[in-house]
Structures are given as C-alpha cells and as structure tokens.
Chain A
Amino acid sequence: MEIQNGQSVSMSQLEVLPYNTFYSDIIGLMEEPTAHCVNYFAVPRDERLTLICCIAVNASHSIHVLRSEVGRDDKLLPLTNMHRAFHVFEREIHELYGLQFQDHPWLKPLRYAHDRANDASIYDYPFFNIQSEEFHRVGVGPIHAGIIEPGHFRFICEGEKIHHLEIQLGWQHRGIERLFVEKQKLLQRATLAENIAGDTVVGHSTAFCQAYESLAGYQLPEKLAFDRTIALEQERIAIHTGDLSAICTDIAYQLGNAVFGRLRTPMINFFQQWCGNRFAKSLIRPGKTNFPFTPQLADTWRNTIAKYKPHFIEMGEHMFDLPSVLSRIERTGIVPTTTARSLGLVGMAAKASGIEADIRASHPYLRYNELNIKPIVKTSGDVFARARVRYEEVLASIQNIERLIDLMPAADYQPQTELPLRPGMLTVSLVEGWRGEICHCAVTGAGGQLTAYKIVDPSVHNWMGLAMAVRNNGISDFPICNKSFDLSYCGHDL
C-alpha cells in the first residue's frame, strides 16, 4: 500500500501477503534506484509474527507499506542476500523473536536487547577472525579515552593498514522501544522521544510528534509546523558547527577547533534562550508547544546570526583551503557511490557519496514544501566531502530560517493536551535530522493503545558505512573517519 510521509493507515486495510509475495514485492520495489528501506520490523501477534516493511521511494515521494505474517518457526529467505541494506533489520527480527533466515550472510547480534530471544552474552560476540602471522588485531573500547559513548571496534590490520573493521554495539541499550509501549502518559512518551539520542533531540521529538499526531488524527496548525521547522534547521546549524570543530580537533588543527567551538556556543545557546535547554529538550510536544517562536526571538536570532555568519564563512573558507588540512581529509575514508547505495546509507554520509538522500526534499513534511530544499551533494565520498556537506548545509539552513521567518504565521490555535489514538492504525513518520533520515513507526491495538513503536536512527543505516570507509586506510586515520560520520551509539542501541 502506498502512503505519504506522516500518514496513518488502518491495519485492516493492509493486505496480508504470503511471505513469498512479500519478498518478491520488496525486491521488485527495490529495483527503483531511489527506493530504500526505512523500517522493517516484526510485531508479535498471538503465536505468529506480523512483518511490516516500509520502502520509501524518493522519485515518487511515497512510502510503500507491506505486511506479511509468518510463524515463529518458519525458515525465511533473507532479503539481505539481494540487498545488503536489509541486514540490520533482519538481524533485529532474528535477535528479538528467534526467527530463522536461511543462509543469511551476517546473522550476528545487533544490540543485545533486554528482551531478546536468545541468551547470547555481549562479552562473546562472534567476531570475524583471521588466522595469519602477518595480521594483527587491535581492539578499541567499549570504554574510550574521550567523552564519546561506548562501542567496541575490532580492527584487523597489516602494519598500519586496516583490512577489516567490525563494530560491536549494544552497550548502550536502554529498551526505549518497549518503554514507549509501557509508559502510558503523553508527557512520559514525549520525554522518552527527546532522549533517544541526546544530539538529535529536535529530530527525534519531531518524528515522534508527527507519528503521534497522525495516529490521533490531529491536524497540525501552521504555526506549530513553523516552530518545528525552525527548530530542526537550528539544530542542524548548531550540531554541524560543533562537528566541524571536532573534525579539526582530530586532525590537530587548533585554530579550526577553537573558532568553530566558539561559534557553536551561540547557536546552541539560542535554544537556551528559546526554551531553557541548550539541546532543545521540552521544546517540541504533540499538539502544542510550551515555547512558541515569537517575533522577539526572531530578532534575537537575526542578531546572533549576523555575528556568527561572517566568522563561520571566514573560518570555513580558510580551513577548506589550507594544504595541511586538505592533505588529512581528502581521499581519507572513501565510500564510493555504489557501496553507499548497496549499504543503504542515509543523510549526510549518503550526500557526501553522491546520493540525493534528503527526506526534506523527497518526502516533504512540516513547512519544507515551501522551502524547496535542494540536497547538497558531493561525489568524492571522503572525509572532505562529509565535512564540506556540513559546511554548506549550515549556510543553507541559515537561508532556510531567514526565509521561514519572513513567512511567520500567527499563533491562532488551541493547544491540545489530550490526544487519544485511533485504534488499529499504523503510521510511518520520516524526518530529516541533521544526521539523516529518522523513521518512527507506530502501531495501535484495538483499544487505541500503542502495541509497537519502532525507531530507526540514521546511525542504524550508517554504521556499516564507517566499517567499509576505513578499509585500506591507515589505522591512525580511523578517528577522523569516525568523526566525519559522527554516528550515534545510543540511537543505534535504543
């Protein structure tokens, strides 16, 4: 069934396909070059499992939702064998429900969820191994020297050269998806959504609100949509600026680190002025906002950006012109377009590898229809491209906010505090966070209660991209490659 972004569909209208048809339909849909899987999950239903797969097609601006039902003991043909991008989803289904896939190439634990079907221990992950005198293994983490989150990286190196990297995650698992179903209050759920990934508060809470409001059949007022669009763009500016600073740190370029670090502060502090929290927590809530964007805030923003922009451009132009910086970031950590496509990379990482992956353009939501977003695409796929995409996206986001402020609508709506969900519905909510495509899917039961809530952070798609990017690079270039992706651990582990 074909739906739009943020649209709800009644579960009874979704045709239950036999797995073979389900499988061949997905393969058929994936033949379209801009099709990609945004979410694929299982919902237990009595003794059987309902499989739901959402394929977004950028060219037709639509999302195809397919449904199938299988027994828990069935042996299924894996989609991963045809399209690598499905591996995370099939691994998750296998891990949670013990569903078997025949000849799956990489059926390893994904995140060691608390309610997993097997009793595998996180301490004996089946790492890929190599028997050789020439190669050596280097293990990094899960405890790191810096302030990053926990994750274990195992390298197989020949001297300084990385041949293989395997990333083991799951150390940060909190059971967020189950909590969404268990917690009944709207405020509890909204707070959960803000804490899916601490660096993408606006992105995830917007995706949650969009899903929740769609399930409740709530028509979003123009002003609320406006506020959220501004917040999304502002979050992109703030985090990208911080990331540019961190990239400079990793190549030991002190000037860039200091200047971008200083510039990040006023951007992130703008949220503090707006809603009292630097990461925009409590700003976005379903059906209302406690902190509407006012004309006074618009003036504050204009003043802040007038001081920010010239310095940002000066530093950016200098950095992308400095030979010592370029020699570190050019041709480092290359992900070619074909690899990016087959792994199903999304967001910034995909844009740096020549793929026009931007939900704001392909599946517009909120006010993005009016902004006419053009994805910023680079083709080299290296650290330079990923840094440059950030730089240009910041400038584009500043323009977007400028144009939005000129279109500011009046706040003429009644805040809704109670949003009862419609029973037996399914919704797919896509949002382009600063890192990339965020997908929230929710299913309601017969009484209008949530029966499943599935979150896909862009990191879920992109971690494998990092593992491929570092191959044949020096091991000392791993940190800069890692930083250029800047993936979330807790967004993956949930």
Chain B
Amino acid sequence: MISFALIFIASLFFTGIVVRTKSIAQGRKGPVILQPMYDIWRLLRKGSVFSTTSSMIFQLTPSFYFASILLAMMVVPLCGTTGIFSFRGDFIFFAYVLAFGKFFTIIGALDTGSSFEGMGASREALFSMLVEPAFFLLMGTLGLITGNLSFADIFAMFHFGSYTSYAFAAIAAFVLLMICMIENSRMPVDDPKTHLELTMIHEVMVLDNSGFDLGLIMHATNLKFAMYSALIANLFIGDLAWYISVPVFFAVEFVCAVIVGITESFMARYRMSHNAQFILALSSLTLLLFLGVMATTGKI
C-alpha cells in the first residue's frame, strides 16, 4: 500500500521536472512543476469525442491501458514493504499486465483506421517486443543473485554486500532507465514533443483520443515513469529504515527525471531504423550481466 501511494505521489511531479529541466537547458524559465498535472486535470473534466469509424474497442482502450498500469504498480515493493500483493513470479505478472495494456493501445489505434495510427502501432509493437528480453534477462539476473522469484524478496535480498553488487546495481539501473524511456516513448527512441505524425511512435497512436481519455493516457505515462523509477530506487534501498528510504526514493525519482530531461535536451533522436539496434544492444548488455552472474555464482 505504501509503495502504491509513494509511486502515485512521485508521478504527480515527474513530468513536470522533466519539462523544467528541458526549459532550463534551453535557457528558459519553464512552467511550474505541476503544470502537466493541471493540464491532465483540465482534460479529465472534459468529455471525449469519438470518430465515427471507431468501435467500442477504441472507447475501452484508455481505461484498460490505465488499469493495466495501476495493476502493475500494485506488485512493486518499496521501503521494506511488499506491494499490495506479492507472489512468486510477480515480475512476470508485472511485465504481462503492462503488455496487456499495450496490446489494447495497439488494437485501439488500429481501430481508428488511420494510416498514421497503423504505422505507429506497428512501431510500438516492434519496439516493445524487442525490449521484453532485456527486462526478463535483467529480472532473471537479479533472481539468480538473490535466489528469489518475487519483486519483494529479490529487492529485500539484494544487499550491497560486495563491490560486484554495486556494479550490478549500476548496470541494472541503467538498463531499467532505458527500458523506462523506451516504454514511455521518450528520447532517444521517440520524441514526445514532435508535431510530425510520420515520425511519431506513441503520440500518433493517441491522436484520436481526446478529453477524459487523453487525460488518462497522459497520466498513465506519468505513473509508468514513476513506477520504473521506483524499481530503480529499490536497487539502492534494500532494507534501510523508512526515514532514510523514503527520501532516497524521492531522490532517485528526481534524478531519473533530470536524466530524462538532460538526454532530451542535448542529443538528437535516433533514426527509426537504428532504434531496433539500440534496443537489441540493451538486451545484449543484460545478457552479459546474466552470464557474469552465472559465472560468479558458479552456475557455469
């Protein structure tokens, strides 16, 4: 319960910090941190408009997508407590409940019959498929180190015992952050700011959504950011007391948001055809990590 609440609170500020970081990098003052939330609140109070070519699937999609993120959040542990529920193999549940939400956004996009949205859906499907091995290899590695199969147990056992676990935590944090940026369709894979439909991935899939539905989709992104950053925070918290771990959690969220902002400020986006290479490189990095752990634990 605590983790759920903490992630929700962090999600309110995450995008605001990203936007603010980008503004400062540009030499502008930037909007207030809560501006993205004001926008979402405004959208949530509006009605939705539906295209006449779309069916019920399109109308269900935003709610299913949002619900899938809430469900995934429930298994994330934090600060020594488990999530709302926890069981052996809950990280598989985590991955596939997110995939379920993504499946709905894809068929929702196809439902509109727009050629743009079909293109976006095909890209999103490809990139999420490629990022899946990276996530499972990473969780498999952590499971191998700790000998456990649930988020709560894995992170509780993942102590900073030796220098190798520092290295593992650093690489795992990097991989998780990258997965987070790919899953959230941020730079360098996707550009959330662009107005060019032909280059979009996620944005083009939600072109037809409006009002309340759009608000849900936008807040789902914030929650996803906060949730992945919570996983990163878990790598560093271990079994620290709450009065240390809660500030550490918020510090990690803040650092992640700033890193996202800085990445988006100082580099160009990848060419679409290079995205696949980049994501596969991420998987191979985790494979190295996995083999390294196998070697150190004497499994091979």
CB distance from A260 to the nearest CB of B (A): 12
A471 to B152, CA, bound (A): 52
On whether the beta carbons of A140 and B27 are closer than 8 Å, the reply is: no
Check A138/B271 contact, CB under 8 A, given A145-B195, A145-B197, A475-B198: no
A159 to B123, CA, bound (A): 10
Which residue of A262, A475, A476 has the most chain B CB atoms within 10 A of its CB atom?
A476
In the assembled complex, which residues on chain A have CB atoms less than 8 Å from the CB atom of B208?
none
Interface residues of B in 219-250 (CB under 8 A from A): none
On whether the beta carbons of B195 and A477 are closer than 8 Å, the reply is: no
On whether the beta carbons of B25 and A254 are closer than 8 Å, the reply is: yes
Residue A407, interface by CB 8 Å:
no
Check A146/B196 contact, CB under 8 A, given A251-B269, A252-B264, A324-B267: yes
On whether the beta carbons of B196 and A479 are closer than 8 Å, the reply is: yes
A213 to B139, CA, bound (A): 78
Residue B81, interface by CB 8 Å:
no
**Which of these, A255, A258, A322, A327, contacts B270 with CB under 8 Å?**
A327
On whether the beta carbons of A139 and B196 are closer than 8 Å, the reply is: no
CB distance from B72 to the nearest CB of A (A): 28
In the assembled complex, which residues on chain B have CB atoms less than 8 Å from the CB atom of A145?
195-197
Q: Which residue of B lies closest to A153 (CB)?
A: B198
A136 to B117, CA, bound (A): 13
A474 to B198, CA, bound (A): 10
Check A140/B198 contact, CB under 8 A, given A253-B267, A254-B264, A325-B268: yes
How many residue pairs link A and B with beta carbons under 8 A? The number is 84
Which residue of B116, B188, B197 has the most chain A CB atoms within 10 A of its CB atom?
B197
Residue B164, interface by CB 8 Å:
no
In the assembled complex, which residues on chain B have CB atoms less than 8 Å from the CB atom of A322?
267-268
Residue A250, interface by CB 8 Å:
yes
Q: Which residue of A lies closest to B274 (CB)?
A: A327
Residue B17, interface by CB 8 Å:
no
On whether the beta carbons of A328 and B268 are closer than 8 Å, the reply is: yes
**Which of these, A138, A325, A477, contacts B119 with CB under 8 Å?**
A138
A199 to B142, CA, bound (A): 58
Q: Which residue of B lies closest to A250 (CB)?
A: B196
Check A474/B273 contact, CB under 8 A, given A138-B119, A254-B265: yes
Residue B213, interface by CB 8 Å:
no
A253 to B271, CA, bound (A): 12
**Hey, what's the 0/1 contact readout for A135-162 against B, CB within 8 Å counting as 1?**
0111110000110000000000001100
Q: Which residue of A lies closest to B188 (CB)?
A: A324
Interface residues of B in 196-214 (CB under 8 A from A): 196-199
A108 to B290, CA, bound (A): 61
Residue A489, interface by CB 8 Å:
no
On whether the beta carbons of A252 and B271 are closer than 8 Å, the reply is: no
Residue A485, interface by CB 8 Å:
no
Residue A478, interface by CB 8 Å:
yes
On whether the beta carbons of A138 and B115 are closer than 8 Å, the reply is: yes
In the assembled complex, which residues on chain B have CB atoms less than 8 Å from the CB atom of A254?
22, 25-26, 264-266
CB distance from A48 to the nearest CB of B (A): 47
A445 to B269, CA, bound (A): 57
A215 to B30, CA, bound (A): 55
On whether the beta carbons of B272 and A474 are closer than 8 Å, the reply is: yes
Interface residues of A in 83-138 (CB under 8 A from B): 136-138
On whether the beta carbons of B115 and A252 are closer than 8 Å, the reply is: no
**Hey, what's the 0/1 contact readout for A260-300 against B, CB within 8 Å counting as 1?**
00100000000000000000000000000000000000000
On whether the beta carbons of B268 and A251 are closer than 8 Å, the reply is: yes
In the assembled complex, which residues on chain B have CB atoms less than 8 Å from the CB atom of A476?
198-199, 271-272
CB distance from A183 to the nearest CB of B (A): 37
On whether the beta carbons of A253 and B196 are closer than 8 Å, the reply is: no
Residue B194, interface by CB 8 Å:
yes
In the assembled complex, which residues on chain B have CB atoms less than 8 Å from the CB atom of A477?
199, 271-272
On whether the beta carbons of A252 and B198 are closer than 8 Å, the reply is: no
Given A258-B25, A322-B268, 18 other A-B residues pairs in contact with their CB atoms under 8 A: A138-B116, A140-B197, A140-B198, A145-B197, A159-B122, A160-B272, A249-B194, A250-B194, A252-B187, A252-B264, A252-B269, A258-B26, A322-B267, A325-B268, A327-B268, A327-B274, A476-B199, A478-B198
List of 8 A-B pairs having minimum Cβ-Cβ separation, nearest first: A252-B191, A252-B269, A253-B268, A258-B26, A476-B272, A479-B196, A324-B267, A324-B268
